[in-house]
């Protein structure tokens, strides 16, 4: 399988309070080719807040998608235009987040109950931008979880022009279940997503949920167009180096963990000069030495000290003594 620069073969999921610009810069050092997604940003936040602070990113992060949360077609179109103007490579609509706060705002997974509205949102965004408009959803929500209902949802958004769908292979339970429980309690149903690809061979179907090993990825790629990695990429980020070597750049010398830290220290020093707190960046690198000798002490030393007033990159160098 030939892999283009903007391959969607392997991507990293949008994760709230995780995949900010500091984390994405860090992940890009490890894996030059995986496709990255922003945290979800709501349309209200962009319209009423500091859009430059919310949308700014490092050029090294490309390819990079902006995930939007919202359900008003005009607001989504406006925010999609902002995203394209800032240089994002894709606009993704969140129709899969299961948090109560998101549901009360009429976006996230509850949108799966309103396929016609999602189609209207897609049409508005597609008319506003030239970059791809995609959707991330689940296989169902609460009692609306039949295969026929899922097919109707996908059919409806495809007719509106959505050609790329990322599907978390669990249904969302919105009644009293936290986002954390929604990542574990509803059973994974890869078979449904694989069946969906057979039903819609013309669409690009990307599967998400519980993918933790190279073997998982290889197995799933036999039936879909791409995989999206979530928590494993955050808790064990150097796993992406294995992904990079297996699927993208077997002959390319990748950065070692220590080389990644050297480059992150330079990045952090630049950010510290802009008054970014060390903890805002260092929290993303806690899992870099997962599975290596000294990993626990590395995590503990950083966790206990990175919030101190005046903490700087000397702390990172001190933590390196443990690994």
Residue from 15, 25, 31 nearest 57 by CA: 25
Cβ distance 208 to 189 under 8 Å? no
Q: How far apart are CA 36 and CA 88, in angstroms?
A: 10
Among the listed residues 18, 51, 79, 97, the single catalytic one is 97
C-alpha neighbours within 13 Å on the C-beta side of residue 96: 27
Spatial distance between the Cα atoms of 65 and 305, rounded to a whole number of angstroms: 33
Distances (CA, A) of 230 to 91, 174, 272: 19, 20, 28
DSSP letter at 108? G
Question: Residue 2 and residue 308: Cα distance in Å, rounded?
Answer: 47
For tokens 């220590």, name the residue. 258
Tell me if residue 137 is catalytic. Answer: no
Residue 147 makes CB contacts below 8 A (sequence gap 6+) with 192, 195
| Active-site annotation, residues | 97
């Amino acid at each position: 399988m030939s892999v283009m620069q903007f391959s969607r073969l392997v991507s990293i999921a949008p994760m709230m309070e995780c995949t900010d610009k500091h984390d994405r810069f860090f992940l890009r050092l490890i894996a030059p080719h995986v496709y990255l997604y922003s945290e979800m940003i709501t349309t209200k936040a962009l319209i009423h807040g500091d859009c430059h602070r919310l949308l700014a990113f490092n050029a090294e992060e490309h390819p990079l998608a902006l995930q939007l949360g919202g359900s008003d077609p005009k607001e989504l179109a406006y925010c999609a235009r902002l995203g394209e103007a800032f240089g994002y490579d894709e606009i993704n609509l969140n129709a899969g987040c299961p948090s109560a706060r998101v549901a009360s705002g009429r976006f996230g997974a509850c949108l799966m109950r309103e396929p016609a509205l999602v189609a209207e949102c897609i049409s508005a965004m597609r008319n506003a931008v030239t970059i791809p408009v995609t959707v991330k959803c689940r296989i169902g929500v609460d009692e609306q979880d039949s295969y026929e209902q899922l097919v109707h949802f996908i059919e409806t958004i495809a007719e509106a022009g959505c050609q790329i769908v990322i599907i978390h292979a669990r249904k969302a339970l919105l009644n009293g279940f936290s986002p954390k429980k929604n990542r574990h309690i509803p059973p994974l149903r890869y078979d449904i997503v694989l069946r969906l690809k057979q039903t819609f061979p013309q669409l690009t179907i990307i599967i998400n949920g519980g993918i933790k090993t190279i073997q998982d990825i290889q197995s799933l790629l036999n039936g879909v167009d791409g995989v999206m990695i979530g928590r494993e990429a955050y808790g064990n980020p150097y796993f992406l180096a294995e992904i990079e070597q297996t699927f993208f750049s077997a002959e390319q010398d990748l950065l070692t963990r220590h080389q990644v830290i050297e480059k992150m220290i330079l990045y952090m020093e630049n950010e510290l000069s802009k008054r970014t707190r060390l903890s805002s960046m260092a929290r993303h690198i806690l899992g870099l030495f997962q599975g290596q000798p000294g990993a626990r002490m590395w995590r503990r030393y950083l966790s206990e000290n990175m919030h101190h007033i005046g903490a700087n990159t000397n702390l990172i160098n001190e933590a390196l003594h443990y690994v």
